[in-house]
Structures are given as C-alpha cells and as structure tokens.
Structure 1
C-alpha cells in the first residue's frame, strides 16, 4: 500500500445528487422543489419554530418552573454510606475519594437514612436534624 494508490472502501462515498440537469435526469425543471412558494425560492426558508405567523407553540404555552443552577454543587450522603465508609474522621475530600459524591460537589449534607453504629467526626459537612441526632447518639460529632 502506498500513498498514491489509497482509495476509500467501495460504496463508502456516494456522489451527491445533481439536480436541475434536464428532463432525462428526473430532477430537471423545478429540481425537486415543486411549484412556487417560499420553499421553492433560493434563500427562502424560515427560522426554527416559525409557524407562518401564527403564535408559535413555545409562546402559546405558559412559563412555568425554575431549576436552580447551584443544585449541581450540592450533594447528600446517607448514614448507611457513612457506616460502610468506616472512617473515624470524614470531610469532603474523603467522600470524593470514596466516590460517595461527585467531583463538582462543594456542599454535602448527611441525611437520616439507615443506621449509624460507629462514632464519626464530620468536618465541613452539614446534617439534617435527624441525622445529627443519630450521629451524636452513636458518639460522633459535627464540626
């Protein structure tokens, strides 16, 4: 194989359709565009969502809801996950390394789901009221 005899695989590159080349081609005269109208003209088309002047669907429907962009930086960890982690001291970095929260997460909160039997010291991590009570009952603390 040499550079001067490289070719694409057979059938992988199809010649583009040539339109407007006489009756025999089957695509002469109007070149597949039909007769008259906006779509037949050169440069004649409309923007996405345009409905011919009718009020477009996107504007007919009411505006509703809001999704905060800061939510992607918030994470949560369960008591069960803390139990499985098995570390005496837990901070954000430890949770990221264990894969319990994503890399983008900046704020973590412990939620009361499951049980915690060992004492865990949390640093820089929040907790719900129920989770805080469970952590303190197991002999842990929040800082």
Structure 2
C-alpha cells in the first residue's frame, strides 16, 4: 500500500457546485441568486429584518449603561465592595486565645491573598475563644464569637473595589515601566 492508493470513502467528498459557467449547467446567468434585489447583489446589513423596525430601534435608549442591545437597568457593581468570606467553622482549627488577622489566615491557607478585606460569617460551629480582627462581621458571627468568650475587632473601613482596581492598575503600570 502506498500514499497514492489512499482515497476518501465513496460519497464522503461532495463536488463543488460550479455556478455562472453557462446555461448548460443549469446554474448560469444569475448563478442561483434569482433576478435583481438586495439578495442578488451582496449581504444585507447586520440587524436588518426585512424592513420591519429592527430590535435595536424597538428597545428604548439607555444612556451610559454598558454596551449591547439589551444593556438596560442600573448596575453599581464597579463600586461594590468585595470580601474574602470566612465562616466561623474555618476558625475552629485554631487554638484557644489565638488572634486571627488577615495575615494569619493567609499564612494558614484560609484565604489566598490580602488584596480584599475579610468578612466573617456564622457558618458552622465554634467552640473556642478567639480574638478575631476583620473588616466586617455578620451579626450572627459577632454574637457567636462573643458568646464563646472571644473578642471582635473591626479594622478600617473596607476598600471599594474601584480603589483595588485603581491600585492594581498603578502597580501593573509601574511594573511595565520598570521592564
């Protein structure tokens, strides 16, 4: 067997339809496009619906809110504060009397980085007395920690996500300038 003996399976390769090569082919003259009109000449505009008012004109305008046909409504996500969420059950692994900070949680692999503030929630059980320092606590988590004889310390106001993004951009720009 040689490479020259290889052939595609019968019927698997379809022959190309030749158009515009004379009347004998059955696809001459208008080349299967019919007579005149937009569809004979080229492609219609993106969003064209045959003369019906297109969707992008049927929807009301919404200025300054995202992009695309359906970007309507209000989205304040850019200014939302994001947190590293830690449940009290994750604090159960530490010894009695331990002071728990974001750096401590980072060192013990509970959070991945300290770029975001930490928020403590009341998920799970807590049996130990701990001193917990975080940006925010749920009411139930604060009560649970206090109930077990621990203390709660709230750090400075949590940073807005827009500030974090601005800092990251500045850091990245400085790194690019250094290279």
TM-score interval, smaller chain: 0.5 to 0.7
1:110 aligns with 2:120: yes
Q: Is the 1:73–1:104 Cα contact (8 Å) retained in structure 2?
A: no
1:75 aligns with 2:84: yes
Q: Give CA-to-partner distance per residue, 1:106-129, whole Å, 9 cap, x none.
A: 122111222211122222332112
Q: Is the 2:101–2:132 Cα contact (8 Å) retained in structure 1?
A: yes
Corresponding residue pairs, total? 127
**Aligned-partner Cα distance in 1 for 2:107–2:87:** 16
Q: Is the 2:88–2:122 Cα contact (8 Å) retained in structure 1?
A: yes
Structure 2's unaligned 5+ residue stretches are: 1-6, 61-69, 154-179
1:41 aligns with 2:41: yes
* 1:126 alignment partner in structure 2: 136
Structure 1's unaligned 5+ residue stretches are: 1-9
- Name the stretch that deviates more: 71-80 or 18-27: 18-27
Q: TM-score, normalised by structure 1?
A: 0.57
* RMSD between aligned residues: 4.0
Residue 133 of structure 1: how far off its partner (Å): 1.4
Q: TM-score, normalised by structure 2?
A: 0.49
Q: Give CA-to-partner distance per residue, 1:7-32, whole Å, 9 cap, x none.
A: xxx98xx9xx6864525888655555
